[in-house]
Chain A
Amino acid sequence: MFSDIARKFCQVFNLFCCVHVFHAHVGQLHYVVGPSMFPTLNATGDLLFLERFSVRFQKVNVGDIVVACSPENPRVLICKRVLAVEGDSISVLPEPYAQDAAKNVLIPKGHVWLQGDDPYKSRDSRHYGPVPYALLQGKVQLRIWPPHSWKKF
């Protein structure tokens, strides 16, 4: 009887390890809520599938939507779009209302510029500067929920 319990325990433990490896190294699901990526993502919440390979092998490009650790609170994840990568120079409007206050920012080595699609509601690189590449967690590939707005990004 104990050997049965031990065998079941080993199977459950193996399953947990496989699920962890998939979740940490291949892809994961995230429920993202907030208005900063409107209209691309719903403010009321979307279930997204992220894949990890792009971030790990530096295949993140300008225009990709990524999930990252927030530089202002490492326990919080943010979902933004990459507008510039290292070496690029972009023109940034610190306030979306003030059109003539644009300034040029050169993205330093090892950093990316993240910005939400809704500039009025998003707190992003315009507020806390370029984000180190190592904070990126994954690239958003699919929207799974709500089911009627299934989409590949």
Chain B
Amino acid sequence: MFRNQYDTDVTTWSPAGRLFQVEYAMEAVKQGSAAVGLRSRTHVVLATVNKAASDLSSHQRKVFKIDDHVGVAIAGLTADGRVLSRYLRNECINHSFVYEAPLPVGRLVVRLADKAQVCTQRSWKRPYGVGLLVAGLDELGAHLYYNCPSGNYFEYQAFAIGSRSQAAKTYLERRFEAFDKYSAEELIKDALFAIKETLQGEKLTSSICTVAIVGIGEPFHIISEQAVQEMVDALETREEATAEQSGGDMQDESGNPDAAAPMEEI
């Protein structure tokens, strides 16, 4: 995107009918590290790439449990993501308190979208710079939503956000039609494969990714690093056995703009 006029504040339309500040906020999501989500009829899996800023630091949390039946994975400004997670948790707790029942995920994402929309129509605010993949359950089953800074939200069978997410999306587009009938283990495997696609040749280990799952009869939880590593190892042996090229076709190394913009998370 190039320098635009009419982009100084969020309450100024461009002559072409665009709100540039909102679009810039969506750019922030694209700069964050990848997150993917996949859904079957009964389960939803979220997986994220967690890169630490340096060997000295810990990596940022990108997956948050919101309630027993809902979790989110974020990409973009993690501080915004953390604050929104707190909001989502509060909404779930308040609903449960009054109705003694879990807040259906479809209602939760609408509230989140409305909150994001407010920031696109106030001159003293800025849009949230974070995209959320919301995984959750309601009476009808499992759902995966994507909430973006614009205040829009969409439901998906599978989706990927963040940097190099296009590689993951291409992979998912090939496979998504089978997802509905997948078991939890198969979903997790495909999530790991999708994450692998975004790494472009870098080795996938459980120390650089986080995997979480929620399903009917299975409360939202983050899968332990050990269990993830076992699945990653199983993937690799399967890969070698079938001699199938499941690695990305992109040859270029990651001499990539990790040189960050100031507010950016890794």
**Does B bind A?**
no
A→B interface (CB under 8 Å): none
